A and B are shown apart, each in its own frame.
Chain A
Amino acid sequence: MLEKIAPGRLFRPVVALVVLVAIWQLVLMLTGVPRYILPSPMAVGSALIEQRALLAHHAGITAIEIVAGLIGGILLGLATALALARFRALRRTLLPLLLISQAIPLFALAPILMLWLGYGLGPKILMAMVIIYFPVASTGYDGLRQTPQGWLDLARTFGLSRRQQLLKVQLPAALPSLASGLRMAASAAPIGAVIGEWVGSSQGLGYLMLNANARLQIDLMFAALVVLVAFAVLLYFGVDAALRLSMPWHRDRVESGP
């Protein structure tokens, strides 16, 4: 797996990043957009360095919210998927509710959570959990449902109970499907936390962005955004690496592609 982080693999993303920054600079020079609308890459870079203590403090808060939300959302989603697969009665009542819950816009939910839970970390963690919960629950349940019949036949002739069948056969068989839900969750988690911070908070990257915006510190606002993007990317690759490690048999197919 180590050879996958070799320079050859990093080359293209780095080139893409450099090109993007160059376009950004070019747009600035060609259009003469004022600095309070779009700061230069240099200005954002220096804000990142000069304000690193401030950024680090707020980034730490947001990181806690994201990770706590991610863990909570995954555990809750997984528990829901298992319960849905195990109990027929639950499927009939809970499944429609689950779908309806997806129709509620997250932004509409945020002020209510704020009202109930206050301005602390709680509502932000809950927002991140809510946004992660559905993809994990639905991909997990789908995966559990689509266990090949042959393995279920085998489980039956082995004399397995329904519970053993669920945990020993259906759950590992669902892992590849669940993994795509977890990757989705990893990239969605920062969104939940930041929305929570926008609606009402006194710390975190979302708060820092709003605050900098109000004070026309656009370079700081962009610097906070850069940190947030870095978080999202790191989280995605972290979850991806963890999934590869937990599915060593899947490695070859993932690397060589279909």
Chain B
Amino acid sequence: MPPPGLVVRQASLTFGNRPLFHGLQARFDAGSWTCLLGRSGSGKSSLLRMIASLRLPDNHHLDLATSDGAPLTGRLAWMAQQDLLVPWQRVVDNVMLGAHWRGRPKPEDRQHAERLLDQVGLADKAGQWPDELSGGQRQRVALARTLFEDASVVLMDEPFSAVDAITRLELHDLASRLLADRTVIMVTHDPLEALRLADRILILQGEPAHLVSIPVPEGARPRPLDNVDLQHRQAELVTRLQESAHA
């Protein structure tokens, strides 16, 4: 089934007495990768949580529509900054965590999980405990767990911000390849990450905030670091982010 596009209307979020955004609109095209940037506290992570129908402490409202009209429930996968591996399950069981939690996993679930571990390069770690893995390896398991859900919409909240720079670049290549043809919305602090991965970059800026679309570099993602256009755009994007912080 092709992935749906998403349309957000009338999104509003109030933090205490301060409205972070009000009447916010956004469109996320089917099968495209959108990166959401903005200064800390701009409400970008909250916006992502609202799309995922996750719990939020503050007053919020959101109208969400899908391009095919069907509800998003059951078609959505979530990946957070923390890998969220559970320590009481082995690596392969963490990949098929959804199957474990929803009921009794079938033998083919395990085969599928092992295939996904192979795809993220951790086939030999299947029987180990999460504690025995490095931070980058754990995040790769989290990516495999996200893929296991086989969701057409993937929401990611700074998924690669807790790993070192080199590991992050490797994870970009992996995620970009494995999440092709899905509708991805990714919150990030890292301009370079956005420029490598995004089909579209949105900055949440102003008070109350609105979304500004930023042009992305040429070339297919993941764009290599020596992409001249990428380097050129990076300076521009950083300047934009600095301006949005002072606005």
Contact = CB atoms under 8 A, between A and B. Distances in A.
B54 A168 contact: no
Nearest to A172: B88
A157 interface: yes
A152 B55 contact: yes
B97 A154 contact: yes
Interface in B98-154: 98, 100-102, 129-131, 149
Interface in B36-87: 49, 52-55, 73-74, 76-78, 80, 82, 84, 86-87
Interface string A104-140: 0000000000000000000000000000000000000
A240 B240 CA distance: 58
A169 interface: yes
A252 interface: yes
Interface residues of A, number: 24
B78 A249 contact: no
A155 interface: yes
B86 A151 contact: yes
A152 B74 CA distance: 16
A159 B103 CA distance: 11
Contacts of B74: 159
B80 A150 contact: yes
B149 A158 contact: yes
B100 A168 contact: yes
A255 interface: no
A153 B98 contact: no
B149 to A, nearest CB: 7
Contact of B86 (A157, A172, A252, A253): A172
**Most B-side CB within 10 Å, residue of A150, A154, A175, A253:** A154
Nearest to B100: A168
A164 interface: yes
B73 A249 contact: no
B77 A160 contact: no
B88 A160 contact: no
A52 interface: no
Contacts of B89: 249
A54 interface: no
Mostly, the B contact residues are loop
Contacts of A233: none
A236 B130 CA distance: 29
A35 interface: no
A160 B100 CA distance: 11
Interface in B160-188: none
Given A157-B52, A249-B129, A151 B84 contact: yes
A156 to B, nearest CB: 6
A249 B80 contact: no
Contact of A253 (B77, B98, B131): B131
Given A150-B80, A169-B101, A249-B129, A156 B53 contact: yes
Contact of A159 (B54, B97, B102, B129): B102
A155 B88 contact: no
A19 interface: no
A158 B127 CA distance: 23
A155 B97 CA distance: 9
A256 B219 CA distance: 50
A113 to B, nearest CB: 39
Contacts of A247: 88
Given A154-B78, A249-B87, A249-B131, A160 B53 contact: no
Contact of B87 (A149, A158, A168, A250): A250
Contacts of A159: 73-74, 102
B109 to A, nearest CB: 13
Interface of B: 49, 52-55, 73-74, 76-78, 80, 82, 84, 86-89, 97-98, 100-102, 129-131, 149
13 contacts: A153-B49, A153-B55, A156-B52, A156-B55, A158-B98, A159-B73, A159-B102, A160-B101, A168-B100, A169-B86, A249-B89, A250-B87, A252-B131
- Across the A-B interface, the 10 shortest Cβ-Cβ residue pairs: A157-B78, A168-B101, A158-B98, A150-B84, A249-B87, A172-B88, A249-B129, A153-B54, A150-B82, A249-B88
Given A156-B53, A249-B88, 9 more contacts: A150-B80, A150-B82, A153-B55, A157-B52, A160-B101, A164-B101, A249-B129, A250-B87, A253-B131
